[in-house]
Amino acid sequence: MDLDVVNMFVIAGGTLAIPILAFVASFLLWPSALIRIYYWYWRRTLGMQVRYVHHEDYQFCYSFRGRPGHKPSILMLHGFSAHKDMWLSVVKFLPKNLHLVCVDMPGHEGTTRSSLDDLSIDGQVKRVHQFVECLKLNKKPFHLIGTSMGGHVAGVYAAYYPSDVGSLCLVCPAGLQYSTDNQFVQRLKELQDSAAIQKIPLIPSTPEEMSEMLQLCSYVRFKVPQQILQGLVDVRIPHNSFYRKLFLEIVSEKSRYSLHQNMDKIKVPTQIIWGKQDQVLDVSGADILAKSIANCQVELLENCGHSVVMERPRKTAKLIVDFLASVHNTDNNKKLN
């Protein structure tokens, strides 16, 4: 082989080796940085732009795609200890002509975290309303989606601000009172009684605890590499004291059953999506809501746990789009009549 050709391959190999080694080093040494890059990449790929808006001295961070049009805007509220990017897996399958807004909930990611903030469900509802007012999302009724804690907030929001919300989607929402507790809730009550605040299953501080939390929240058993588990923990550990404070607030007597206490005030068309194998919040909650909300459609997903958005993103997106279409068509027919 010609020496010049050999030299070309050596140079090319060396050039390629640099980014490959950088990637491997990032994966092994800085997995948390890799996770942030991953979210940045998917936001960019899906056309989601990050913006900030302020209500007095309080900052909200959100991502969005599209502009308000004749179809309702969609506001998406994430769950406990998550962030706006958890919706990206669903956004991937939503039409690009929809106006989507995903906001970081109070104290999460880029939204202000203050020791003076009211983290109760009522307090979070008020903050979300401030965000809505800042963006003028309520110039006409919008579609509100929330999952888990975000579903709890979304349901109460729809009860408190009925003129803002045109339709509602609750994905395995918290905030309901069951006749019997599942194993997860029983375990939480035991931890509260023993004052073992450091052992809340939804607040992992080691890769092993992170793996256990993923198994608790998902029916699908993901095989997550140790480095990624470590990266997920590294990202969360600086925030764990806040998560504990928030968790104790939302399970307090003031907040625990806020959705249950207000569900009969929800008058807008409502969609309930729940994984049948949810180990965190029992699927029987869907029936509780359906009996109290007049215009309610229930969708139960087989082989799906609590992390509906992560486990069944394509199906979730389709259900949302179909529901919106049916509500929109009904509204149009009413106008014609």
Answer positive or negative: Cα dihedral of 78, 84, 88, 89: negative
Known catalytic residue: 306?
yes
Question: Is residue 122 annotated as part of the catalytic site, yes or no?
Answer: no
Please, are residues 165 and 194 in contact by the beta-carbon 8 Å criterion? Answer: no
CB 150 within 8 A of CB 105: yes
Burial 296-323 (b: 16+ CB within 10 A, else e): bbebebeebbbbbbbbbbebbbebbeeb
| Signed CA dihedral, 153, 155, 159, 161: sign only | positive
* Sheet with 74-77, edge to edge strand ranges: 49-55, 58-65, 100-103, 74-77, 142-147, 165-171, 270-275, 296-301
The answer to whether residues 103 and 131 touch, using CB atoms and an 8 Å cutoff, is yes
Q: Which of 73, 148, 167, 211 is catalytic?
A: 148
Active-site entry in 83, 152, 260, 306: 306
Spatial separation of the C-alpha atoms in residues 326 and 337, rounded to whole Å: 17
- The catalytically annotated residue of 85, 278, 282, 307 is 278
Known catalytic residues? 148, 278, 306
